[in-house]
């Protein structure tokens, strides 16, 4: 049995961007920010990293608060269980 290599596709320098050409008239996301709220204007600015960091910090602080609150409640339940064991033993 003899195998030969065949060239399946021609080499290209760059991929053809047909998506941008097709939808270029329909993508109007950048226009119309003049009437937007200050929050939308801030989100549309070039400093998006600060908004992402702010939201992530809020999420982390809420999670930390939740974990601390649950830990306190579990600690109280453990103390109550220990007290009931001591009371039942005596």
Give dist(CA 71, CA 13) in Å, integer: 59
- Please say if the pLDDT value at position 90 is more than 70: yes
Give dist(CA 77, CA 84) in Å, integer: 11
pTM (predicted TM-score): 0.47
CA–chain centroid gap for 67, Å, is 20
Q: What is the pLDDT of residue 31?
A: 58
pLDDT-derived band at 74, boundaries 50, 70, 90: very high
Per-residue model confidence as pLDDT tens digits over 3-53: 676 666 555 555 566 666 666 665 555 556 667 777 777 666 667 788 888
- Please say if the pLDDT value at position 71 is more than 80: yes
DSSP three-state, residue 35:
coil
Structural domain boundaries in the chain: 35-89
With residue 80 as reference, give the H or E element that holds it: helix 48-89
Q: Are 41 and 33 in contact (CB under 8 A)?
A: yes
Token look-up 């709220």 returns: 37
């Amino acid at each position: 049995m003899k195998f030969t290599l065949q060239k399946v596709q021609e080499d290209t320098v760059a991929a053809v961007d047909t998506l941008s050409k097709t939808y270029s008239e329909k993508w109007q996301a950048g226009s119309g920010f003049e009437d937007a709220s200050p929050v939308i204007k801030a989100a549309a600015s070039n400093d998006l990293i600060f908004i992402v960091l702010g939201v992530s910090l809020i999420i982390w602080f809420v999670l930390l608060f939740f974990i601390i609150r649950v830990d306190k409640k579990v600690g109280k339940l453990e103390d109550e269980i220990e007290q009931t064991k001591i009371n039942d033993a005596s």
